[in-house]
Amino acid sequence: MPNIAPAYVNVNPSYTLPELLLPYSQASGAFDLLPTGEPLVRLSEGDLVAYINRIDLRTSMASSQSSYNELPSVGVALSQISTPTYLNRVRAEYDHHDTAAMGRRGVSIVEAQRLGMRQGHFQLLRNMLLQGMNPVNGEGILNTNGATAVTLPADSNGNTTITTYDNGELAFFILGQIRAIKTRTNQLGLGTKFTICGPQQDLGVLEYDDIVQLTQFQREGAGSASTAGTIKDILKMNGDEISWVYDDTLIGKGLGGTDAIIIAMPEVEKPDGGKINTNEFAALAPGLDACLLQLCDMAAPREIPTLLPGGVIDIVSELRASSGWGVRPEAVTILSAAH
329 upstream amide cis, omega within 30 of 0: no
Residue 20 resides in a domain: no
In total, how many domains does the chain have?
1
The pLDDT assigned to 207 comes to 84
Residue 6 resides in a domain: no
Q: What is the pLDDT of residues 112-157, one digit of tens each?
A: 999 999 999 999 999 999 999 999 999 999 999 999 999 999 999 9
Please list the helix, strand and coil fractions of the chain in percent, rounded to the nearest 5, in that order. 25, 25, 45
Helix runs in the chain, H state only: 96-104, 109-130, 167-184, 200-208, 227-237
C-alpha 339, offset from chain centre:
21
Residue 190 resides in a domain: yes
In angstroms, the CA 25 to CA 207 distance is: 21
Residue 73 resides in a domain: no
> Which helix or strand (DSSP H or E) is residue 314 part of?
strand 312-322
Residue 138 resides in a domain: yes
What is this structure's pTM? 0.91
In angstroms, the CA 178 to CA 195 distance is: 10
Residue 65 resides in a domain: no
Q: What is the pLDDT of residues 152-182, one digit of tens each?
A: 999 999 999 999 998 888 999 999 999 999 9
| Residues of the chain with confidence (pLDDT) below 70 | 1, 209-224
CATH of the domain at 125: 3.90.1690
The pLDDT assigned to 214 comes to 46
Residue 19 resides in a domain: no
Residue 257 resides in a domain: yes
**Domain enclosing residue 322, as ranges:** 30-59+86-337
